[in-house]
């Protein structure tokens, strides 16, 4: 997030910067805490805010600073490579109603140790 920027504004800006698409009226869909642990020691902790939007303007980029972009049909998302916990998040983003809260705990190698989801 940029100084003084709301999480919603950051979502719109980041999405536009990375994809070339301007999201219209994104709504908060999930608030998550991620914890990385090595044994009992917490190495780092961060938050992630997910948004959902059905309206947009712009032209989809094929490449961004992070690499090559691919646009997938929703029914193919279960087959995509991603962190184990992300499958739970994506499933709710697509099919769930309302806001979901969650906590995911990983090892430094991103092995999922535990997770808790709390649909609002």
Q: Quick one: pLDDT at residue 65?
A: 84
- Residue 96 has phi, psi (to 5 degrees) of -80, 160
Q: Is 93 exposed, middle or buried (0-12, 13-18, 19+ CB in 10 A)?
A: middle
Q: What is the pLDDT averaged over residues 100-114?
A: 97
7-119 has which CATH code? 3.90.79.10
**Residue boundaries of the structural domains of the chain:** 7-119
For 103, residues 6+ apart whose C-beta sits below 8 A from its C-beta are 32, 33, 34, 35, 115, 116
Q: What confidence tens digit (pLDDT) does each residue in 27-80 have?
A: 999 999 999 999 999 999 999 999 999 999 988 888 888 889 888 898 898 899
**pTM (global) more than 0.75:** yes
- Write down the mean pLDDT value for the chain: 94
Contact between 59 and 26 under an 8 Å Cβ cutoff? The reply is no
Q: Quick one: pLDDT at residue 106?
A: 98
């Amino acid at each position: 997030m940029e100084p003084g920027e709301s999480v919603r504004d950051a979502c719109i800006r980041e999405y536009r910067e990375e994809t070339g698409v301007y999201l219209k009226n994104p709504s908060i869909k999930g608030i998550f805490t991620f914890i990385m642990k090595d044994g009992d020691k917490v190495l780092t902790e961060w938050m992630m805010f997910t948004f959902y939007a059905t309206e947009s303007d712009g032209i989809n980029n094929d490449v961004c600073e992070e690499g090559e972009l691919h646009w997938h049909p929703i029914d193919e998302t279960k087959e995509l490579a991603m962190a184990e916990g992300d499958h739970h998040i994506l499933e709710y983003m697509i099919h769930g109603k309302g806001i979901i809260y969650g906590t995911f705990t990983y090892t430094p190698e991103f092995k999922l140790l535990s997770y808790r989801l709390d649909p609002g």
